[in-house]
Structure 1
Amino acid sequence: MWEQFLWVIYPYLVITVFIVGHLYRLNNHPFSWTSKSSEFLEKRVLKWGSTLFHWGILFVVIGHVAGLLVPVSVYRALGVSDEAYHVIALSAGGIAGLAALLGALLLMGRRFRVKRVRATSSVGDLLVIVLLVIILLTGLTATGTNVSHTGFDYRTTINPWIRGILTFRPDASLMEKVPVAFKIHILLAFGLFAVWPFTRLVHVFSLPITYLSRSYVVYRRHSSR
């Protein structure tokens, strides 16, 4: 029952909160849908931290989609051997993960150490950045220690399990032999998705498409008399 809760019930609870939470916030608190920029409070650390984190996490997400949602049979049909796949995944994924982690650590240090930034931070802001750092750490640790040393292949376990969740055919037995480090990483990631709708992370779904058609804002120097 415990395994069923963790790998079947818990994911669907999180997905429900994720979807309903976003809809509720958008309909009832639309003006809270913001990234709450703190650039005017501190710029130097933000520039490096934000750049490293956002570029790193972008490629981390792409790697997760390619690794978790694409069946292993597709790669083999394309002629990509298991050895080649793992080399690419470990090298490219490792670089992206380290960049995202370094950026997240800079942003976390900035949020806790810069007084003005800390004073304007909510509990959600602090919780999210700490969660992100832990998730990135556990992900890099799990991949580095298990895939490279034990030969564990998440494409034959976690991959079909997550696809089963998305296609409403969950199978908790697929997670039985998954290393503990991966399980901790997955559970924490779902925890992040659960709090996502109630934090600044909602800005991920805000695309500034209207900026393409907006008129330019013209600034003119005021001539003093």
Structure 2
Amino acid sequence: MLLHIPQVLSKQHVAEIRQQLQAAPWQAGAQTAGAQAAKVKHNLQLSQNLAIAQQLAQQVKEALLAHPLFVSAVLPKQLLLPLFNCYQHGGHFGNHVDGAIQYEALTRLPVRTDVSTTVFLSEPEDYEGGELVVEDTYGSHEVKLAAGDAIVYPASSLHRVEPVIEGQRFAAFLWSQSLVKDNSQRQLLFDLDMTIIRLRQQLQDSPDILALTNHYHNLLRQWAE
């Protein structure tokens, strides 16, 4: 499931985050990548050990968890703290797949990466290039969203960030372990949830709506870990 989550962060909040990111100390992103990804990772990244990185990460995490569309699509069980990157001067990240297991920064507990999320922190007109390209069974999908918007997609997807020719592309990114491991099951639950919401707007809490809601929760109860 590739899903656009609009307005995770307000424009004012994005501007405040950007101001702090501009003044932060950046390091080569390849330092935080595995052996294979490091060969194709050419960007800048904030160290998780920085107090400012942890503070901003918590803000982004809370904003995502407060967004009903994100919660419905991801069904998060565990969210890793977001990381921050910057692409400029031709920076890019070649085709790669995210590691299946990541470790929570503070507790070092393992988290299975079911869903990847990118929150865009630069407006599309602020930079040239820099599209996130996600490949799945239906082809390649280019993503370049408004600042404050997010995209979620299966962490198992092959993906890349195209070179940023001009300007700067700032983003936050993170991984989530879902209550429902299987992507197709999460997709079915999300579609059913969205259908229930639309029908409720038309029919209120009719017996049919209550029956569909019951089906949703029974499926979630069956599939959730």
Q: TM-score under structure 1 normalisation?
A: 0.25
Larger Rg: 1
- Structure number with the bigger relative contact order (C-alpha 8 A, sep ≥ 6) is 1
Q: TM-score under structure 2 normalisation?
A: 0.25
More helix by share: 1
